[in-house]
A and B are shown apart, each in its own frame.
Chain A
């Protein structure tokens, strides 16, 4: 099995103004796949489709080699899921939720659950309704990890949490992955967080998958170039010109953001009578912003 999640041409309409369109995702086995996108881009809807909570009007979904939603119980038995909004029964205590949840999973690992309890410093006697946001997040993560899943699906798991809790949760996930070789599908709009842990990245915007590639390729391929003397119209560049800021001041040059950059491409600028002054690596967040900007507006190529 090369992909733990595979969707083909998914379509789902949510209301009048939003639609998931032609969504084809490939999450490689053993990868940590960051699912990026601005708020309202369709990340949570996509995850609901992957978890069998919504039914696509078109297309197919395979999770852990089985079709969703037909094989939902078998898939969910091997998948740890942390939803965007915690949904646990608020009147139960932490201990009661744990026992309730464990009763549904044959692979439940009490030793791991106890170990995470200690690490997350949770109080078993507290009611769910009395937990702070951070405690609820940690409990959700504990429940997902103690299932011993082959796949973790995390929908904005650290959104709104303080850095200490975020760090504890991310470390717990990484520890688990290193022990079990499980795959992780994690959605977030906290780009910096994903940059550190993911080896694959997929970017959603307005219901469509903008791009999907290894993190390294994503990061290394997007550059900010400072160019002087470039003609107004540039033809057939060997890279993808994502944006071009022509506000040249005091000879500082134009700023171009490009994708698919390789060092030998410097020669291109000599060919068009321009001069390349500087090549700057963009971090994931800058690359993400530029990618979305070009996806939403026509390409800046002259």
Chain B
């Protein structure tokens, strides 16, 4: 049963998976292009770290996008058929959702492994200046966790009905409206920023996206 579900999900998201494997493999290699400096000046080391840091944003964006695409393709065909087929299968709904979730999680492994290999290759080929270290394993692990987190969130949202999505949007909209009203009345106006900070900084659940994604660091 799982094999059959995995096959369907692979078929629906294989283009996304194939493209993401290429991107995941290429991203670390492209980010360390400037790392071949054998006797770097202090300025050049700082420039190198700055470049690596600039590239690091893309890992987070890539992980979030990958999670989103794999999650939406997992449910797209069922949504299209208004879930009639899935509901007519002799399997509890929660089990069906878990199998789809597991299949999508497994598909995430391909870009994660590609990124890990790419990071290992990139750091092995580069001559890293003294005082700096390579973190291919940590980067791959962070990427895996971020992609899995994004996938889980978007999978949960996609699994729901249009009404669920409307509720999520309504909550976000209510927050924004409250913020605007508080600001207009001259009261505390940093509600959304404060909440956002809580979510994306440690120990917030999305901190993984905003932390350091450095392949090469001090």
Contacts and interface: CB of A to CB of B under 8 A. Distances in A.
Interface residues on B, range: 20 to 34
Given A87-B82, A91-B77, A81 B88 contact: yes
Interface string A102-118: 01110000000000000
A9 B3 CA distance: 42
Given A87-B82, A89-B77, A76 B90 contact: yes
Report the contact-size class of chain A (Cβ under 8 Å from the partner): 20 to 34
Contacts of B11: 91-92, 96
A284 interface: no
Grouping DSSP codes into helix (H, G, I), strand (E, B) and loop, the B interface class, with mixed when no group exceeds half, is helix
Given A87-B84, A89-B77, A92-B11, A100 B4 contact: yes
B152 to A, nearest CB: 24
A73 B89 CA distance: 7
Contact of A91 (B5, B12, B82, B89): B12
Main secondary structure of the interface of A (DSSP, over half): loop
Contacts of A77: 90
Nearest to A147: B90
A59 interface: no
Interface string B6-46: 01100110000000000000000000000000000000000
Contacts of B188: none
Interface in A44-87: 51-53, 72-77, 81, 83, 85, 87
A49 B77 CA distance: 23
B58 to A, nearest CB: 30
A72 B80 CA distance: 23
A192 interface: no
Contacts of A8: none
A91 B7 CA distance: 12
Interface of A: 51-53, 72-77, 81, 83, 85, 87-92, 96, 99-100, 103-105
23 contacts: A53-B87, A53-B88, A73-B90, A73-B91, A73-B92, A76-B89, A81-B88, A85-B84, A87-B81, A87-B82, A87-B85, A89-B85, A91-B11, A91-B12, A92-B11, A96-B8, A100-B5, A103-B1, A104-B1, A104-B4, A104-B90, A104-B91, A105-B90
